[in-house]
Amino acid sequence: MKRVVILLISLLTSTLAFAQSTDTVEYYMNYRGEACSPDSAYYYRLAYKDGNWWKVKDFYLIEKVKKMEGYYTKYAEGKFDNKLGMFFYYHPNGKLESKVRYINNLREGIYKAYNENGLIIDSAIYKNDQLVKNRLKWDNNGNVIFRGMYDTEGNGDGEEQYFFSNGQISEFGKIIQTEFKDSLWTYYHQNGKISCTEFYEYGRCIERRCYDTNGKIEGHCEEMVAPFYDKKRNNMYHIEDGDLLDIAKADYVSFTVKILIDVDGKVLAAEMITNPLVTRVFYKHAIQQLYYMPKWIPGRRFNRPEKMYTNLWVTVVRRR
């Protein structure tokens, strides 16, 4: 299958960005999933009529493997709508990322998600797109990090608990309609002391109090503070690399990445969020250098350090 996908994408590299007939649609997509020109593309979409439905397949361009496949019942003005049947999503290494069934664009039945090594990390049951009964999440080591307990009628009402990897409670509270926090939510530091309490009314936080690691109240605080690279919070980083610029045949290149910062300030992941202006090889090597950045000031959520994404503006210049 992988060899077929590679051949398919290779044949398409010289085609137009968007092409369609009465029963086939194909186009390139940017990182947001929008149609774009081939030189700005991260993904490729192929769709064809299968009876009265549209079978849609998305592919990673660089890795040349499938990203998603599923059926839509509607296609109009360049957009697919109304998911129906099983949908499968894949990691860039080709392994299954998640699977779930849709009925009239609503999730129905068992949902499962897996990490890049094939280990299950999420399992839930949906009814009319609302969570029912139980949901469990695991970290990559198999530790339970989330447990949700919901009503059986499909209202999405229940309670949710989050855990640190050592099994200690991290936060818990009431949930309604699958997504709205309600009533009292309590959060803890890893030493077991309360870090924050919030009171909600149908998803709206009306009161928040924060506590230090000794349990002493600090008063009001923000729910989330994004990580930042320097004290001025500019989130700018300069790479001095003439060899890299030779690849781009330029003296200066700038771009923006989405970067994941761990609780200790280390860079865990980075990916492009701006349209490529030069070759993918250039960006691959530039992004690799970000993993060796000095430590960041980590982000905070509910008054405790947390692994978090933020944006970083990167410039590549020649050594002065």
- Map 112-158 to HEC letters: EEECCCCCEEEEEEEECCEECCEEEEECCCCCEEEEEEECCCCCCCE
Residue 114 lies in a domain: no
Residue 163: how many CB atoms within 10 A of its CB?
18
Q: What is the pLDDT of residues 48-89, one digit of tens each?
A: 999 999 999 999 998 999 999 999 999 998 899 999 999 999
Number of domains in the chain: 3
Choosing from 56, 76, 105, the residue where a domain stops is: 105
- Look at residue 111 and tell me if it is in a domain: no
Enclosing domain of residue 86: 1-105
Report the candidate in 178, 144, 177, 176 with the shortest Cα–Cα distance to residue 161: 144
Encoded tokens for 45: 């979409």
CB 312 within 8 A of CB 257: yes
Q: Are residues 197 and 253 in the same domain?
A: no
Query: pTM here?
Result: 0.74
Residues 77 and 144 in one domain: no
Which residues have a Cβ under 8 Å from the Cβ of 159 and sit 6 or more positions away? 148, 149, 172, 173, 174, 175
Residue 117 lies in a domain: no
* Amino acid code (one letter) for 261: I
Q: What would the pLDDT profile of 210-239 be if each residue is shown by its tens digit?
A: 999 998 999 888 899 999 987 777 788 999
Instruction: Give the per-residue pLDDT at 272.
Output: 83
pLDDT of residue 17: 53
User: Does some domain include residue 229?
Assistant: no
Residues of the chain short of pLDDT 50, as ranges, are: 4, 6-7, 11, 13-16
Using DSSP, state whether 243 is helix, strand or coil: helix
pLDDT score, position 245: 87
C-beta of residue 187 within 8 angstroms of C-beta of residue 205: no
Q: Which of 165, 188, 221 is the last residue in one of the domains? A: 221
pLDDT of residue 276: 62
Task: Identify whether residues 13 and 93 lie together within a single domain.
Answer: yes
Burial profile 102-125: b = 16 or more Cβ within 10 angstroms, e = fewer: beeeebbeebebbeeeeeebbebb
* Same domain flag for 1 and 101: yes
pLDDT at 32: 85
Decide if 256 is inside a domain.
yes
Whether 33 contacts 23, CB under 8 Å: no
Residues 70 and 143 in one domain: no
Cα dihedral across residues 97, 100, 102, 105: positive or negative: negative
Residue 130 sits in the same domain as residue 168: yes
Domain identity same for 158 and 210? yes
Is residue 172 located within the same domain as residue 79?
no
- Torsion-angle region of 117 (φ positive above 0: left; ψ -120 to 50: alpha; else: beta): alpha
Token digits for 36? Answer: 């774009």
Choose one of 190, 221, 252: the last residue of a domain: 221
Report angle CA 191, 193, 195 to the nearest 5 degrees: 110
Express as a percent the part of the chain with pLDDT over 70: 92
d(CA 159, CA 182): 10
Is 207 found in the same domain as 276? Answer: no
The pLDDT of residue 31: 83
